[in-house]
Amino acid sequence: MKTLVLAAELLQELSSYLEGAYPEEGAGFLLGKTEEELGRVQALFPLPNAREAEARSNRFLLTPQDYVVAELHAEQSGLEILGVFHSHPDCPNTPSEFDRQWALPHLVYLITTVSQGKAANHRAWMLREDRSAFDEITLELSTRPPFLSTTHSVGQLTNP
Amino acid sequence: MAIIRIPTPLRPYTNGQSELTVAGETVGQVLENLVQQYPALRTHIFNENGELRPFVNLFIGENNVNDLQGVATPVEDNDRILLIPSIAGG
């Protein structure tokens, strides 16, 4: 994938969720569809950061159970897991070495800097096939509403 | 022969197949046979030291093999091994 398209209203939802998680890292899945080299996000699937409280300022974890639930939700909505979003509180939105070690190929990693509690900047990345580094991909904002409005909200937009 | 389920992000390395039948008497042997059949998978499942990458979780039924005998966990014919990633970063 070379371009990730995200509706402005979904970006606003994502920003609000990550600001709510501040000063901890917030995270979740991006659900949508791929069209050749373009991924179109159609729903967010935010989840609680499963890391222990003292680590959540610079680490996040989505468990295998989270993955299964997100994948099932995506399939039921006719979507797929396009990638993962997470925040870097008061840090640049470039992938860390820890991000690289844990990264999966063929998933987009959308990283947001949350600076002093405000979502400041968003960048999208994909892991190289040889796992040596991430490459930035184009993040395109769309004014068109998402085709589906299926953002997961079963009490999970509230951070723990 | 066990059946191993491959998560979507790794399916480009298994010709798009979501489930594969692989020989092996333990979870470790199944994984080794899997990456021999699909060599491009190896770098995403094992690190440079041959250890499982941290996002790799393996379940037999509902049991995480880490709660059993790890990669030494015996596998019986038609057991379903689920490879489910956890997602982490920082």
Chain B contacts of A96, Cβ < 8 Å?
A: 89-90
- Closest residue of B to A93, CA-based? B90
Q: Would you place residue A13 in the very low, low, confident or very high pLDDT band (cuts 50, 70, 90)?
A: very high
Q: What are phi and psi of A99, to 5 degrees?
A: -55, -45
Size of interface A-B (CB pairs under 8 A): 79
List CB contacts of B48: < 8 A, sequence separation 6 or more.
none
pLDDT above 70: residue A148: no
d(CA A159, CA A45): 13
What pLDDT, on a 0 to 100 scale, did the predictor assign at position A152?
57
| Mean pLDDT confidence for A10-27 | 97
Which of A64, A81, A86 has the CB atom closest to B86's CB atom? A64
- Taking the CA atoms of A10, A16, A22 and A26 in sequence, report the sign of the dihedral they define: negative
- Taking the CA atoms of A135, A136, A138 and A142 in sequence, report the sign of the dihedral they define: positive
- Residue B58 counted as domain residue: yes
What pLDDT, on a 0 to 100 scale, did the predictor assign at position A144?
75
Helix ranges restricted to H, chain B: 27-37, 42-45
pLDDT above 90: residue A29: yes
Q: Which two tokens stand for residue A62?
A: 């989505």
| Mean pLDDT confidence for A88-95 | 96
What distance in Å separates residue A97's CA from the closest CA in chain B? 9
pLDDT above 60: residue A149: no
d(CA A79, CA A42): 8
What pLDDT, on a 0 to 100 scale, did the predictor assign at position A52?
97
Question: β-strand A27-35 against A80-89: which pairing, if any?
Answer: antiparallel
Chain B contacts of A80, Cβ < 8 Å?
A: 8
Strand partners, A88: A113
Domain count, chain B: 1
What pLDDT, on a 0 to 100 scale, did the predictor assign at position A151?
55
- The CATH number that applies at residue B8 is 3.10.20.30
* Alpha-carbon dihedral A70, A74, A75, A81, rounded to 10 degrees: -80
Strand partners, B87: A62
d(CA A81, CA A47): 14
pLDDT above 80: residue A157: no
| Mean pLDDT confidence for A136-148 | 83
- Residue B23 counted as domain residue: yes
Tell me whether residues A105 and B9 touch, CB distance under 8 A.
Answer: yes
| Mean pLDDT confidence for B43-50 | 95
Size of chain A, expressed as the number of residues it contains: 160
Question: Which residues constitute the domain of residue B14?
Answer: 2-85
- Residue B90 counted as domain residue: no
Domain ranges of chain A: 3-142
pLDDT above 90: residue A124: yes
Chain A contacts of B88, Cβ < 8 Å?
A: 51, 59-62, 98, 102
Tell me whether residues B86 and A98 touch, CB distance under 8 A.
Answer: no
Which of B8, B85, B88 has the CB atom closest to A59's CB atom? B88
The larger pLDDT score, comparing residue A160 to residue B12, is at: B12
Q: Which two tokens stand for residue A103?
A: 């990264």
Chain A contacts of B52, Cβ < 8 Å?
A: none
Chain A contacts of B7, Cβ < 8 Å?
A: 67, 71, 104
Q: What ipTM did this prediction achieve?
A: 0.92
Q: Would you place residue A14 in the very low, low, confident or very high pLDDT band (cuts 50, 70, 90)?
A: very high
Which of A59, A60, A67 has the CB atom closest to B85's CB atom? A67
What pLDDT, on a 0 to 100 scale, did the predictor assign at position B67?
95
Q: Which two tokens stand for residue B48?
A: 């440079």
| Mean pLDDT confidence for A61-88 | 96
CATH class of A3-142: alpha beta
Q: What DSSP state is assigned to residue B70?
A: G
**Cα A102 to chain centroid, rounded:** 14
- Give the amino acid at A86: H
d(CA A103, CA A32): 19
What pLDDT, on a 0 to 100 scale, did the predictor assign at position A36?
87
